Amino acid sequence: MEASTDSFIRYLATERGLSGAYQLSVRQSLDALAKWWKPSEKPLRDIGTDELAAFLSLRKKEGLNAASLRITTVHLKIFFRWLVARGKLEMDPAEPLLAPRPDQTLPETLHAREVEKLLVSIDPATPLGRRDRAILELFYSSGLRLSELCGLRMEMMDTEEGFLRITGKGNKTRVVRVGSKALDAIADFMTNERPGLVGKRTTSHLFLSVRGTALSPDRVRQIVKERAKFAGIDQNTYPHLLRHSFATHLLEGGADLRVIQELLGHADISTTQIYTHVDRKRLKSIHKRFHPRG
């Protein structure tokens, strides 16, 4: 099974162009299956649907939540489908498996007042204030993923038109709108602070560390937390929270769900629909508070 797993991961990387993080996630699922199957000393072709169901049942007993169990099931399905397509198996034992429904957990968000409080608390005149203000403005203005912001290069920006060309999950490219406040903050940073951060090892990455290198995801997480703490925001604040807030506030403002899907770079509209639950929860709260018979 080890050789088949290696070949499948190469297929995901070279033919499908899937990210390293996705490849690692698939490998972890298949390695767990291999470890469970190895004591039987049977070849891979002897694995049937009952055996796969028993493996998933064990993973559930070991504490795997519904969302992770669903991901593992999907990994098994695409792996065994690939084995059949390559002629390594005659029948697909994973085809009958049903992936469990993930828990419908609502994403956390910041209230618009809290976002405003966070942004205005950053003084551009302080050391790295312009950089940090631009980072937070961009997160909230465009809903970028952490990896997308860290990978942002100057040539990906059209500051005159207010757009970014982003390469997201699965190496898919999308065009992202940048709001006027974020554009102003970025322009201020590029003109008045970034030149002082440039060093011998500097690339075209937009956001730089004090050493002139691209900011790491861990450092950006730290910046967001430090700035939120300084602003007096008690809620746990992290980059993806600003992405959730971006989408939720767009929906509350009347934006179409398909537009939000495109801006976020979601491949499936069902991923974006989680934000409709947030909006319904808000509407229910307003109705209960203000309606005479709420």
DSSP class of residue 100 equals P
Helix residue ranges per DSSP H, the chain = 2-14, 20-37, 49-61, 66-85, 112-120, 129-142, 146-150, 180-192, 194-197, 217-230, 239-252, 257-264, 269-272, 274-290
Tokens of 120: 């205005």
**In sequence order, which residues have a C-beta less than 8 Å from that of residue 50 and are 6 or more positions away?**
none
HEC states along 254-273?
CCCHHHHHHHHCCCCHHHHC
User: What residues are annotated to the active site?
Assistant: 145, 169, 240, 243, 266, 275
- Would you call 85 helix, strand, or coil by DSSP? helix
Tokens of 266: 């979601």
